[in-house]
Chains A and B, each alone.
Chain A
Amino acid sequence: MLDLSKYQSIGSALKDALDQFAAEVCLIESDREREKERLTYRGFKERAHRLAKALQDAGFNASDRAAIIMTNQSKWLISACAIFYCGGVLVPLDYKLTPEEQLHLLQHSGASVLITEYPIWRQLSASPLHSSPTNLKSILVTEAPANVDLFGAHRWEEFRSNGEPAFIPRRRGDIATIVYSSGTGGRPKGCMMTHENYLEQCIALTSIYPFAPGFRYLSILPTNHAIDFMVGFFGPFICGAAVVHLRTLRPEYVREAFPKYKITYVSLVPLVLKNLQIGLQARFDALPPRKRKIFNALVGVNKALTKARPRPGLSRRLLKQVHEGFGGELRAIIVGGAFTEPQTLQFFYDLGIPVANGYGLTEAGTAITVNDLKPFRADTVGKPLPGLEVRIVNSNSEGIGEISVRSKTVMSGYLNEPELTAETIVDGWLMTGDLGRFDSAGHLQLFGRKKNMIVTEEGKNIYPEDIEAAFESVPAKEFCVFAANYIWPQRSMVGEQLVLVLRLEQGQTFTDELRRDISAHNSRLLNYKRVHGLVLVNEDFPRTASLKIKRNVLAERLAQSDRASAILPL
């Protein structure tokens, strides 16, 4: 592994890694049963440099911004490496957003280059917002079929120049990426992450979950997500490990990938981990009684022998078939993006497969706490990473308060949002908006959220304000969207729901037709953004002098009613 304390930027660390590990495999790309690509660091460097040179020839300079909207694949990482080589700022955008949301963020980020895949570009080009002004000067499209009109975009595969690109150095405090943590609707929250944020986070994470040449990371979480960017790109690359991309995420192909590529680490969202648990449990339950008895006894032995610490070699021998199904080399499943239920974590640990659960947010540079497995604890989100200061502020009599963080991994601020930045980073401390408490062993326990937002099991952050526009033409006097747990606090990080709060016009009654109308608006939202129920109120919303809804006051009013009876199902 490179000694990152000596580096100034992601670009300079990647530059050295590509030379130091030249002969090692760095990327494998597979589409169903077909392996499409296998690149060494040397081969990767050659492609990244040709692209970097072409970008420079096209006028891409230091600090210019380049957005990537792609599914997980080799060209994502090659493009990112080229951008950093040129001293550019990477804007990784979520390929799962709607074209309108992507165009909105492209505009907000000020990106002058867009690198995307043909199916995404086709949708972007067809969007009514396509002609809205952006700063884009060059658009590169991968895998475009021959003879199609690319509306002025270049083919990624042909966008290359010979000759050595100039390496543009950056300083630790310079912006490396702009990562949108949310705000696709109203107020985009573009986290400006510095090179230092990534270098320090990588040092901290790899001290607990190390990579080395020969290790293989299966990249499933979208690479635009802070976790996959770190453990599915930067982390493995500076250690000479390999990243495996699958072009389809059908469960059957994901399952095959583990033994086929001898996977060392994988990152999953809780929903997928839970699904994996259900599948495994069903297989265990289907064993003939005698075999099941033996299996359960072996799990019991493994559980007893790994109580103090994981013993991978022993677990692999004891529960051979289970581990062979995962390829026999799996060191840990990294779970992130949302809260994971303790019983799911325990299920895997008992099988000898540690789940690296933790807690973090993009603004803090991915992870804040992580389970260090000394010993494994399913009931907490682990201890703060080395180098991070975490404290609980405004705590109640039980010690539960808002989690705040101070560290070199905390973002420099939100792009173009000085006020929001000042509200979020107070005297150098990042206020997370999440509620927690430290136990006597120094482990952090989570107790819900202080802020009006939800995180889905699929790891999506949803800010209610961002989806209100979807209900604009609903006939009512006024409305707004809340996270139900913000109104009626629950000590839970799972099963969060959104509710639409509605104030009808004088004399207007709530009819089935209105319910159907709201339902129809709701169904136009992406599934994870939909509201779960309605709350009718019979007085006007409290508003500020500038007529903004006083959400906290309204929430306090609503909290007087009983949650179960107040929410009408949609």
Chain B
Amino acid sequence: MRTIDQTTQEVLNLASKHFEVPAESLAPDDDFFRKLGINSLQALELLSRLENHFGIELPDYEVQGVSDFRTLASRIQSRL
């Protein structure tokens, strides 16, 4: 079982890889819309990637209103 810190790091790594942003420039409390320069559609794309990576299903409503990596990771963690 992953710890929340591990999950958060994996979320950051995956976001960095998918949107081609240097991993070191991302921090858990960053707003991913702003930091990755993405819109709501691209955020849905990121969710699908995260679901595949973690092998979970993350309903859209669970992440409604979430905009930082840390909260996103905690929602994933609760479903692992």
Q: Which residues of A pack against B, CB within 8 Å?
A: 32, 71, 95-96, 98, 117, 119-120, 123, 247-252, 271-272, 275, 457-458, 523, 526-527, 530
Contact = CB atoms under 8 A, between A and B. Distances in A.
A249 B64 CA distance: 12
Nearest to A123: B65
B34 A271 contact: no
B41 A275 contact: yes
24 contacts: A96-B64, A98-B65, A120-B64, A123-B65, A247-B59, A247-B60, A248-B59, A248-B60, A249-B60, A250-B47, A250-B48, A251-B41, A251-B45, A252-B48, A271-B39, A271-B41, A272-B41, A457-B39, A458-B40, A526-B67, A527-B34, A527-B39, A527-B40, A530-B34
Given A32-B57, A527-B40, 4 more contacts: A96-B65, A248-B60, A251-B41, A271-B39
Majority secondary structure, B binding face: helix
A273 to B, nearest CB: 11
A370 B57 CA distance: 40
Contacts, number: 49
Contacts of A95: 64
A98 B67 CA distance: 12
Interface in B39-71: 39-41, 44-45, 47-48, 57, 59-62, 64-65, 67
A71 B61 contact: yes
A74 B64 CA distance: 19
A458 B41 CA distance: 10
Nearest to B58: A248
Nearest to A248: B60
Contacts of B44: 249-251
B10 interface: no
Nearest to B65: A98
**Which of B31, B40, B64, B67 has the most A CB atoms < 10 Å from its CB?**
B40
Contacts of B62: 119
B39 A117 contact: no
A117 B59 CA distance: 13
B60 A71 contact: yes
A155 B52 CA distance: 33
**Which of B62, B65, B67 has the most A CB atoms < 10 Å from its CB?**
B65
Interface of B: 31, 33-34, 39-41, 44-45, 47-48, 57, 59-62, 64-65, 67
Majority secondary structure, A binding face: loop
Given A251-B45, A252-B48, A527-B34, A119 B39 contact: no
Which 4 pairs of residues, A with B, have the shortest CB-CB distance? A527-B33, A119-B61, A523-B31, A248-B60
**Which of B33, B41, B59 has the most A CB atoms < 10 Å from its CB?**
B41
**Which of B45, B47, B60 has the most A CB atoms < 10 Å from its CB?**
B60
B7 to A, nearest CB: 20
Given A250-B44, A250-B47, A458-B39, A119 B34 contact: no
B63 to A, nearest CB: 10
A247 B61 CA distance: 9
A558 to B, nearest CB: 26
A251 B31 CA distance: 22
A457 B41 CA distance: 12
A244 B72 CA distance: 29
A174 B69 CA distance: 47
Given A247-B59, A250-B47, A119 B41 contact: no
A247 B41 CA distance: 15
B71 to A, nearest CB: 12
B34 A523 contact: yes
Nearest to B45: A251
A250 to B, nearest CB: 5
B50 to A, nearest CB: 11
A525 to B, nearest CB: 10
A123 B75 CA distance: 14
Contacts of A271: 39-41
Nearest to B39: A271
A456 B67 CA distance: 18
A268 to B, nearest CB: 11
Contacts of A458: 39-40
A225 to B, nearest CB: 15
A119 B61 CA distance: 7
Nearest to A457: B39
A249 B60 CA distance: 8
A98 B44 CA distance: 19
A71 B65 CA distance: 13
A246 to B, nearest CB: 9
A213 B44 CA distance: 33
Nearest to A276: B41
Contacts of A249: 44, 60
